Amino acid sequence: MNNPPSDENPHETRALARFAAVQAVEQARQSGLPLVQALQHAAQQAWDGRIYSASTIEEWVYKYRRSKFGALQNRPRSDRGKNRTVEPEALEALLKLRGEYPTPRSRR
């Protein structure tokens, strides 16, 4: 038996919100709206408390069409648990710049 989604599993909650957005677009398409208008309408709504752009929702639609619900779930980072490094030359250049500009300059 599957456990119901909960606030304790943000990845599942996020995937379900993406699925809801995709379904809203698909229903609008079935009602006769062009894809562009369906995406714009979906982009004006909050999904899991967030507003997403039409292009982001469009990505979800195509991912869902290709691979179904699993495509809407976050994948773990491939570099998780690995240290990210900066090349020594780049680090040296950054430190030199920080020395030359110790505080952010105000914008004009």
* pLDDT over 80 at 93, yes or no: yes
Nearest to 63 by CA among 54, 50, 73, 51: 73
Do the domain assignments include residue 33?
yes
Q: How many domains does the chain have?
A: 1
Residue 42 lies in a domain: yes
**Distance in angstroms (rounded) separating the CA atoms of residues 97 and 100:** 5
Q: What is the pLDDT of residues 20-53, one digit of tens each?
A: 999 999 999 999 999 999 999 999 999 988 899 9
Q: What percent of the chain is modeled with pLDDT above 70?
A: 89
Beta bridge partners of 47: 50
Reported pTM:
0.61
| Range of the structural domain that residue 28 is part of | 10-72
For 27, 34, 45, the CA distances from 31, given in Å and listed in that order, are 6, 9, 18
Candidates 11, 18, 6; CA nearest to 69 is 18
